[in-house]
Structure 1
Amino acid sequence: MSYFSQAGLYLIQVVFGFYILLVLLRFLFQLARADFYNPISQFIVTLTQPPLGFLRRIVPGIGGIDLASVVLLVALQAAELWLIHGLIQGVSINGAGLIVLAVARLLQLTVYVYIVAVLIRVILSWVNPYGTRHPVGELLNDLTDPLLVPARRLIPPISGLDLSPIAVFVLLQLTLILLVRPLEDAGIALMLR
């Protein structure tokens, strides 16, 4: 690869990666019913509203799930993969494989978001065990409670030590191994046909 191709690849990954992360966080915050008026939520909504506002006129939500966000996420991820593999690397790409690989990459990013969120929440609990009303802490609580609360029911605290994050980490890693990686392999195989 030439230096310009490497620079282009880097810029594509940064720009698409940042925006995909924002749209994914908005989608996950909506699913978790996080505080909409949180300053971080408002920042994410402001940056993601233009394309989502347009898509919501075309793609309705179903059962509390914002399908416009899902469509935008898959389209952005597929566009990033097409630009990287098809345009820059010159690989012939199958559309069905591209969509499967895009979904796999989005699931992988979702798992990584939860891993990082739980890890940050654990670290914050060590620093300030009584909690604060900081916007980041509140969003982390809203985002991770759907995973940690059921894990706490299964594994109650032992001598004041909460082991539920470990169970969540194991579950998330198993999701990567048993769901995301096979889907990613299938997407790559389909894409390069």
Structure 2
Amino acid sequence: MTALFWLVDTVLGFYALLVLVSIILHWLVAFNIINAYQPFMRSVMAFLYAITEPILSKIRQVIPAIGGMDLSPLILLLAIHFVRILLATSVAPALGVYGY
């Protein structure tokens, strides 16, 4: 059971990292630091878009952009952090798993 909680926590942490990388790459493209038309960058950005956009679009349906700022990645990162803390402090100890 410990391995299952460790796996879920690791996957959530990796997904949060992908969201952060996606945010940073979008900023770099917006400020014209990275050329988005290079084949490698296009494939990386397409992968990150395919991984993160389904969840971000659902958040955008509920909370639209405020003042031109898209807050959906921030809300997603906060939700991931909340779920990781909830697993570590409430769910895992309730099932007898401590210190994973």
Normalising to structure 1: TM-score of the pair?
A: 0.40
- Compute the displacement of 1:64 (Å): 5.1
* Larger Rg computed on CA atoms: 1
What residue is the counterpart of 1:10 in the other structure?
6
- Structure 1 residues without counterparts, runs of 5 or longer: 91-193
Is 1:56 paired with 2:52?
A: no
On the 8 A contact 1:16/1:76 being kept in 2, the answer is yes
Hey, what's the Cα distance between the residues in 2 that align with 1:43 and 1:68? 18
| Structure-2 residue corresponding to 1:74 | 78
1:103-138 deviation per Cα after TM superposition (whole angstroms, max 9, x unaligned): xxxxxxxxxxxxxxxxxxxxxxxxxxxxxxxxxxxx
Structure 2: unaligned runs, 5 residues or longer: 95-100
Following TM superposition, where does structure 1 have runs of at least 4 consecutive aligned residues deviating by more than 6 angstroms?
none
Show the counterpart of 2:69.
65
Number of positions where the alignment pairs a residue of Structure 1 with one of Structure 2 = 86
Cα deviation, residue 52, structure 1:
0.8
Residue 25 of structure 2 corresponds to residue 29 of structure 1: yes
CA contact (8 A) 1:26 1:41 kept: yes
1:8 Cα deviation after fit: 2.1
Root-mean-square deviation (CA, aligned residues, Å) is 2.1
Of structures 1 and 2, the one with the larger relative CO (CA 8 A, separation 6+) is 2
Letter in 2 for 1:26: S
* TM-score relative to the length of structure 2: 0.71
Residue type of the alignment partner of 1:70: L
Alignment of 1:135-154 (within 5 A): none
Alignment of 1:1-193 (within 5 A): 4=1, 6-32=2-28, 33=30, 35=36, 38-62=42-66, 65-90=69-94
